[in-house]
Each structure stands twice: as C-alpha cells, then as structure tokens.
Amino acid sequence: MTMSVVPSFADAPLADGLHAALVANGITEPFPIQSATLPDSLAGRDVLGRGRTGSGKTLAFGLPLLSRTTGRRARPGRPLALVLVPTRELAQQVTTALEPYARAVGLRCATVVGGLSLGRQADALRAGAEVVVATPGRLADLINRGDCRLDQVAITVLDEADQMADMGFLPQVTRLLEQVAPNGQRMLFSATLDRGVDRLVRRFLTDPVSHSVDPDTATVTAMTHHVLQVEAVDKVATTAEIAAREGRTIMFIGTKHRADRLARQLLNRGVRAAALHGGKSQPQRTRILEQFKAGQVTALVATDVAARGIHVDGLDLVVNVDPPTEAKDYLHRGGRTARAGEAGSVVTLVLPEQRRDVSRLMATAGITPETVRVAPGDADLVRVTGARVPSGVPVTIAAPAPQPVRTKQPGGSAGRPARAAHRGSGRPRRPRRTGTA
C-alpha cells in the first residue's frame, strides 16, 4: 500500500544518499507532480504523469529511477534505466538535473544525442552507464552498431511524449520499447495524450496510475498573457524595442531563416541577440544557450526546436514574434517562463490578418489575454514588456565556431563527418519540417 502523497522529500523512501543530495541542492519540498507520483513510482508501478512543462517532472521520474537502480552495476553497453526525450537540449537538461543525484548513489549517466561524437557516446556506454538519457534516433544508431542493448533496462521513462509524437518519433520509440526488459517499470510524462501517445500508453504501460497536476491547457496564475496588435510596417521596430528591454527574453519565430534574419536585425540595432535553431550544430547550440544563460546574449531568437528543453532561471518574458499555429505550441513556448511558480509574461505580436486565427488559438488554449494595439514608443508597449529604444549602435557577439562531428563507421575509418552522424541527430527519417530539431 502506498501513501497518497509525499508531503516532503524527507517522507519519501528514497535510497541512502538521495536525501542528503536533495538537501545539499536546497530542495526539501516536492512540487505537486513529484508529491503525487513518488509513492507509486517508488513502489515500482507504471505511472502516467500529466503536467505542463516546468512543473518538476524531471525529479518526479528521476528520483525513483535512481533510487530503484541504486546498488546495481551495468555491464558494458547494457544500461539499466532509460530516459527517452525528443530533443538534444532536453536530453542535456535532464542529464544535468540528474547527475548530482546519480553521483550521490554511485550511478553513472550517459547522454546519447545527435550532433555530438558517436564514438564518444559508444565509449560511455561500453564503460558501463547505468542510466542513459537519449533521443530516439541516436540511440537506434548505437543499437544498430552493436554498441548498446536494452534487454537489461528495467525502468523506462518517456519524457515529453507528446512532442515525440509531434516530431514523428513514435515508430522509433515503439521499436525501442519493444527491446527493453518486458516486465520492467514504465513511466510516461506528457502534457497531452493526443497524436498517438494514448496508443503507447495502452500498449506498453501495465495498469498505470495516472496523475495530472495541471489541466490540458496548462494556464497558470503566475503567467500573464498579452496580445499586441501591430501593423506590419512597425513589427521589426516594435520587436527591437521589446528585445532591448532589461533582462533576458526568448523570442519565438516560425523558421530558421527568419530567426537568423531577425537576430541580424537586432544586432544591427544594438541588441545582443542570437538565433537558435536546428540548422546549427550541437556545439553551436550549446554555446549559444550558455551565452544566453550568462547574459552575454539577452535576446534569444528561437524556432520551436527550443520550445521545450530550455530551462533558464528567472526568465520572465516570452515573445511570440510569429504566433504559433496550434494552442499546444503556444503553451509549450510559454512554458519557458513562469517555471516552478515564478511569475512571467507571454506576449504575442499579431498582424491585422492574423487576428482571427490568434483569437481562435487563444480560445482553444483556454486563455483570455489582454489585447492592446501598439506602435514603437507606445506607453502600453513599455508597460506590458518593459520595452526600450535600442542604442542603434551595432553590436557583435562572438559566434560559436561550427565543429564537424567525427565518427567511426562500422567497417570504415574515423575522420570524416559522415552522413551517419546526422542519422542519430534525434530526427526520424522523413522530410524535415523547417524550424524543428
């Protein structure tokens, strides 16, 4: 019999070492999704967790995964626990969040994502990593090469399952789940259960316990929503004034080419901006995120590749320079702010011809935004966003240099950045949609 909720981490039956690690990291009180799911996940039950991005899902599945794996050692290339995620950024974020706790109980983590050295990841698996955090494509590559087998995986987690469905990963995910230990524990965390996620639940989870801490639309009281109606001729100047505000801002835009162009326009106006999208190498993307977190870049112009998987403490404004096409995308973009109970605002710039579609999108998302018409320099623009007139003095930010990935192909030689490196980039083999990972 499990308790109904965990009121504090001290009350959870975690493995020795995890309590001290939580205290050392200043964490004592669980978030709602952690409090709700831990009793069942620690008892080995299959768990279906529904919660908005930023609600604390990583420790909700990470702590029981580590606790229940503690004391076991992985054989070379035979991990014991697996976390599947849709994007490279989210994989690295999950690994970073779990590593201090894994070290506290003597477990080794490996990150398996595209865009980085296939050989190094194979070496990490052969060294015996108990916990693997992976994107589906690259993990499939390593399995096909004979560097990894999943038959010893006793705990499997699907994080952001709905985005994996959106990105076309479900066939790959299905093939991977067919390879893990058949009687193991499975935990699936997702904001929604549409687009085939429900089929995964029915096929691979046994009598799952469901926990939902947020409604599907996932609006939060700490987040405010604003629609700024702007004329086309004023859009770039309005965007630049918002980007010149004090503090850091994420600005979402529809395609990687438009992201690059907007970043150049902002730099020319004196705003420290950089573009983040799937057309950049993984080392470039990692470096840009580091610059943004450190404040060297204050305006991050991102495509939806970054809608999930970026966590920046204290980020209080997200701007949809291009409105998203679906309510779910709006909510996941907005999830970059107001994380873990902090306050934040989501602003959407809307041209006259976009008003009807955006109104419909907001209604679907269950959001009633404040709507105002603005132009550069308007008091309402300043009030809502903290906009300032940029200096007009062009700035330059040292761009991270592209670093070709060197791989060693089966039966071949190491050295050239081979086509197979792209196969494991976390994308399924299908025509790539512009602006995705």
The pLDDT value recorded for residue 286 is: 83
The pLDDT value recorded for residue 246 is: 93
The pLDDT value recorded for residue 162 is: 84
φ, ψ for residue 12, nearest 5 deg: -85, 135
User: Which neighbouring-strand residues pair with 347?
Assistant: 226, 319
Report the alpha-carbon distance of residue 273 to residue 271 in Å, rounded.
6
Q: Of 364, 421, 362, nearest to 142 (Cα)?
A: 421
The pLDDT value recorded for residue 309 is: 60
CATH 3.40.50.720 fits 9-212, yes or no: no
Q: Of 57, 50, 43, nearest to 12 (Cα)?
A: 43
**Topology of the domain comprising 223-385:** Rossmann fold (3.40.50)
400, two tokens: 């991270």
Which pTM does this prediction carry?
0.64
The pLDDT value recorded for residue 14 is: 93
Where exactly are the structural domains of the chain? 9-212, 223-385
Per-run averaged pLDDT (10 residues), the chain, 437 residues: 70 91 86 89 92 75 96 96 92 92 96 91 95 96 96 96 86 96 93 78 92 54 84 96 94 93 96 90 85 92 72 82 87 68 82 94 88 95 95 83 44 36 42 40
Q: Of 308, 277, 275, nearest to 92 (Cα)?
A: 308
The pLDDT value recorded for residue 338 is: 53
Instruction: Count the alpha carbons within 13 Å of 296 in the hemisphere toward its beta carbon.
Output: 12
- Say how many C-beta atoms besides its own lie within 10 A of residue 282's C-beta: 19
**CA angle, corner 344, sides to 342 and 346, nearest 5?**
150
What is the four-CA torsion angle of 214, 217, 222, 228, rounded to 10 degrees? 170
The pLDDT value recorded for residue 165 is: 85
User: Does 9-212 match 223-385 in CATH topology?
Assistant: yes
